Amino acid sequence: MKHKLSRFAIPYVVWMALFVVAPILLVVVYAFSSANGGFTLANFARMRTYTVVFTRSFKLAIIATAVCLLIGYPVSYMMSREGERFQRVAMVLIMLPMWMNFLLRTYSWMSILENNGLLNQFFQHIGLISLYNQIAARFAADPAAYVPITHFQMIGTPGAVVLGMVYNYLPFMILPIYSVIIKLDASLIEAARDLGASTVQVFRRVILPLSLPGVLSGITMVFVPSVSTFAISKMLGGGTEMLLGDLIEQQFLGGAYNPQLGAAISLVMMVIVVVCMVVMNRFGEGEEQAVML
C-alpha cells in the first residue's frame, strides 16, 4: 500500500526536474560560456576582481546574522517563558510585519535615516548634534577650523545596510528558535532542576544544546537572504557599497549587461553558501526539521 502512494510524488519530481534542476544547470552552462556561446573559464578568471564584493557581502551578512542571533535568541527564550496568551499575541506581532512587503518596511527606513530624515531631526531637536559639535570642536586638532556637522551621516553607510538586514530578517531568526524551544520536553528541564542544576546551568547544559537546530536554521534563514540582497543595499546603501546581489542584478537587468558573468558570480556564491551550510550543519547533526510557524 505504502509504495503505491509514492506515485503521488511523481508530478512534483517532474516539476523539480523542470523548474529547479534544469534552471540551475542552465546557470552552470551560462557561467562557463562566453558571450558568443563557446566554452570559457574567463568569467571565473575575472572573479578575483570581485573578491572585495564577496568579502564585503559576507562581512555584512555575518554581522547582520550575529546581531539577529543576539536579539533573536533572548527574545525567543523569554517569549517561551511567558503565558500562553502572551505567546500567541507575540507570535502574531512578529509575523505581522512580514505580511507587509519587505520593500515597504525598507522604504520607511529610508525616510528615517535620510540626512534630513526623522532621526536626524530628532537628534537636532534634543540637541545631540550641537552637543556632538561642541565636543568634537574641543577635541579637534584645530578648533577654529572645525566645520560643525548638520547631521549624522546614516543613509548610504554599511551600518544602514546591516540595520536593514537585521530589521527585515529578524523574524526569520526568532521563529525557528522559538518553535524549537517551545517544543522542548519540560520534564527534561524539571529533571535537570531536580538534579540540582541552577537556572544558568539548565540553560547552558539543557536548553541551549537542544535548541541548536533552531539556531542553525535561523542562521541559514537570515544569512542567505542577507548575503544576496540587492534591494536593501540599493535603498539604504545608496549604491556606493555594492553587494553580491547588486553585482548579479546589474549583469542581468541593470546597467552592465553580461549574463554569463552574472551566472558565474551566482554560481560561486551558491557554492560558497552551500559549503558554509554543510559545514555548519555538521555541528548540528543534520536534522531535516526546525519548521517555521
Site for another protein in 29-88 (CB under 8 A): 30, 49-50, 52-53, 71, 74-75, 78-83, 88
Q: Which is nearer to another protein, 103 or 143 (CB)?
A: 103
Element (H, E) at 136: helix 128-139
User: 3-state class of 257 per DSSP?
Assistant: coil
Q: How far is the CB of 215 from another protein (least distance, A)?
A: 16
Of 165, 215, 181, give the one whose Cα is nearest residue 90.
181
- Are 256 and 46 contacting, i.e. CB atoms less than 8 angstroms apart? no
Q: State the nearest-atom distance from the C-beta of 132 to another protein, in Å.
A: 16
Residues 6+ apart with CB under 8 A from 168: 102, 105, 106, 225, 232
Window of 37-45, 104-112, 127-135, 138-146 that interacts with another protein by CB under 8 A:
104-112
Q: Which of 70, 93, 128, 191 binds another protein (CB under 8 A)?
A: 93
Tell me: does residue 130 bind another protein (CB under 8 A): no
| Binding to another protein, residues 216-245 (CB under 8 A) | 220, 224-225, 227-228, 230-231, 235, 238-240, 242, 245
The footprint of another protein on residues 141-180 (CB under 8 A) is: 153, 156, 167, 170
What is the distance, to the nearest Å, from the Cα of residue 190 to the centroid of all Cα atoms in its chain? 35
Q: How far is residue 259's CA from residue 190's CA, in Å, rounded to a whole number?
A: 58
Main-chain dihedrals φ then ψ at residue 238, nearest 5 degrees: 70, 0
Residue 197 C-beta-side C-alpha neighbours within 13 Å: 16
Phi, psi for 33 (deg, rounded to 5):
-110, 155
Angle between helix 128-139 and 118-125 (nearest 10): 70
117 contributes a contact to another protein by CB under 8 A: yes
d(CA 206, CA 96): 31
Least distance between another protein and beta carbon 182 (Å)? 10
The CB-of-60 to another protein minimum distance in angstroms stands at 14
**Which one among 42, 45, 70, 103 touches another protein, defined by CB under 8 A?**
103
Site size for another protein, by CB under 8 A?
A: 116
Among 22, 126, 128, 131, the residue binding another protein under the rule CB under 8 A is: 22
Residue 115 DSSP one-character state: T
CB of 112 to another protein, least distance (A): 6
> If binding is defined by CB under 8 A, does position 289 make contact with another protein?
yes
Report in angstroms how near the CB of residue 41 gets to another protein at its nearest. 17
